[in-house]
């Protein structure tokens, strides 16, 4: 089966969870005996010169995808033509949008409906584009892959997509492969002192709801208050976090690193007393799985896909109940027995997911997409 992988969206180092999805899935897909893969990449990915898309057969789509307009042009005009020229049996688009026209059948991974359910997650032209392209791409795809059953239900409710057309294929967390920055070095580097650390990993966007952690910290005893580190690249949401921290008297309790090397992020997981993921909406919530795999206790929200991923191995709270969040964080940070219970349960839960399984189920979805239609 010859598959063209639509990676025109992927700017290395700038694409977040969708890049993780591509990096982890591609080598495992390549190991599937019945697949012949060609990666369609943009100029930024080609110039970066690394990544699994460079070790597989690849063609360069002649666009610079940092421009959303160029990304759309590449996806809508070049990708279907290039896939046809390659003799592809199928185009798999990995980032929620897909070509709307062309002779080659399409399958699309839709990670979430953020653009619709938490529109503040997408800024400007990107949000407008998603509103137009995601529904149209979903309807014109032979099959749709989602990371969680929650998104399948969202597609049915909001886009009227037949659930029989949707394959639920969970993601996984890669084991720590990097040497972590030493705790003492990281504490000095980020000004953490010797305080307990609450880590909020992921993009700094409003729907991630890191401000709720600040509200929870304000309800804690100042003498036992942890410091919260919110990772991710800088966004306009940073100003809201800083403003709210100042209003709550928590300016010294919030750390927003400008940039973290992978070893630094690994070090933060190692020294964190708890990972907090109080999001209002997630298509999967990969940081939950990453934390659990590393044995870090997790406090998360009871919304969308997060209970599905956590599977009872995390403390779940209403993301708008700041007192409940404060109580959960305090409980994990002060009760070693509870912290150890969550650590052990998280490791067991995380081992239920693997990228090899993700690839096998993806290949099965490809075969399903090419079955004769009634």
Do 269 and 360 share a domain, yes or no? no
374, part of any domain: no
Count of beta carbons in the 10 Å neighbourhood of residue 87: 11
Torsion angle defined by CA atoms of residues 11, 13, 14 and 15, in that order, rounded to the nearest 10 degrees: 70
Q: 3-class SS at 50?
A: coil
Domain assignment present for 320: yes
276 within domain boundaries: yes
Q: CATH number of the domain that 167 lies in?
A: 3.40.50.2000
Rounded Cα distance between 247 and 225, Å, is: 16
Q: How does strand 58-60 pair with strand 36-41? A: parallel
pLDDT confidence of residue 235: 86
pLDDT value for 260: 87
The reply to whether 13 and 156 lie within a common domain is: yes
Burial of 74: CB neighbours in 10 Å, binned 0-12, 13-18, 19+: buried
CA atoms in the 13 A half-sphere facing the CB of 36: 7
Same domain, 197 and 167: no
Phi, psi (deg, nearest 5) at residue 225: -75, 135
Residues of the chain with pLDDT under 50: none
Q: What is the pLDDT of residue 3?
A: 98
Residue 178 domain-assigned? Answer: no
Asked whether residue 264 is domain-assigned, the answer is: yes
Mark whether 136 and 224 lie in a shared domain: no
Rounded to the nearest 10°, the torsion over CA 291, 296, 299, 303 is 20
Please indicate, yes or no, whether residues 343 and 360 belong to a single structural domain of this protein.
Answer: no
Total count of domains within the chain: 2
What pLDDT score does 114 carry? Answer: 87
What pLDDT score does 372 carry?
Answer: 87
Q: What is the pTM of this model?
A: 0.91
Do 288 and 153 share a structural domain? Answer: no
**Dihedral pair phi/psi, residue 36, rounded to 5°:** -120, 105
Q: Are residues 194 and 76 in the same domain?
A: no
Residue 225 corresponds to which tokens in the numbers above? 């208050």
Owning domain of residue 101: 2-172+354-369
What does the alpha-carbon distance between residue 203 and residue 120 come to, in Å, rounded to a whole number?
13
Strand 90-93 relative to strand 106-109: parallel, antiparallel, unpaired? parallel
Query: In terms of domains, do 190 and 157 share one?
Result: no
pLDDT at 68: 87
Which three-class secondary structure state does DSSP give residue 79?
helix
Residues 106, 240: one domain? no
Is 177 within the bounds of a domain? no
Q: Would residue 256 count as lying in a domain?
A: yes
Residue 19 falls inside a structural domain = yes
Query: Are 301 and 329 in the same domain?
Result: yes
Q: How far apart are the first and last CA of the chain?
A: 21
39 and 168 belong to one structural domain: yes
* Statement to judge: residues 208 and 308 lie in one domain: yes
pLDDT of residue 122: 61
Quote the CA–CA distance of 228 and 206 in Å, as a whole number.
Answer: 16
Q: Which two tokens stand for residue 101?
A: 């026209």
At 332 the pLDDT is 98
């Amino acid at each position: 089966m010859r598959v063209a992988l639509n990676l025109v969206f992927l700017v290395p180092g700038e694409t977040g969870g969708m890049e993780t999805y591509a990096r982890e899935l591609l080598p495992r897909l390549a190991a599937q005996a019945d697949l012949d893969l060609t990666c369609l990449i943009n100029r930024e990915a080609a110039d970066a010169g690394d990544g699994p898309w460079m070790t597989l057969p690849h063609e360069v789509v002649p666009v610079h995808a940092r421009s959303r307009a160029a990304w759309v042009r590449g996806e809508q005009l070049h990708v279907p033509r290039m896939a046809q020229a390659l003799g592809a049996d199928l185009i798999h688009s990995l980032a929620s949008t897909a070509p709307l026209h062309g002779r080659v059948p399409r399958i699309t991974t839709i990670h979430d409906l953020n653009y619709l359910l938490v529109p503040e997650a997408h800024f400007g032209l990107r949000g407008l584009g998603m509103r137009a392209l995601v529904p149209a791409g979903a309807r014109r795809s032979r099959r749709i892959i989602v990371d969680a059953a929650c998104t399948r239900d969202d597609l049915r409710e909001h886009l009227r997509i037949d659930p029989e057309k949707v394959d639920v294929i969970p993601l996984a967390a890669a084991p720590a492969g990097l040497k972590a920055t030493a705790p003492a070095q990281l504490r000095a580097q980020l000004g953490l002192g010797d305080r307990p650390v609450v880590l909020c990993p992921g993009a700094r966007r409003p729907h991630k709801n890191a401000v709720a952690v600040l509200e929870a910290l304000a309800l804690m005893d100042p003498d036992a208050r942890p410091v919260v580190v919110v990772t991710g690249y800088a966004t306009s949401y940073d100003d809201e976090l800083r403003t709210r921290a100042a209003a709550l008297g928590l300016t010294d309790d919030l750390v927003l690193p400008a940039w973290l090397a992978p070893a630094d992020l690994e070090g933060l997981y190692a020294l964190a007393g708890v990972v907090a993921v109080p999001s209002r909406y997630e298509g999967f919530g990969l940081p939950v799985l990453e934390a659990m795999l590393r044995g870090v206790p997790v406090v998360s929200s009871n919304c969308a896909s997060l209970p599905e991923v956590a599977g009872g191995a995390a403390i779940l709270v209403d993301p708008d109940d700041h007192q409940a969040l404060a109580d959960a964080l305090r409980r994990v940070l002060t009760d070693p027995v509870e912290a150890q219970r969550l650590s052990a349960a998280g490791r067991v839960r995380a081992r239920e997911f693997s990228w090899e399984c993700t690839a096998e189920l993806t290949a099965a979805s490809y075969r399903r997409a090419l079955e004769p239609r009634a």
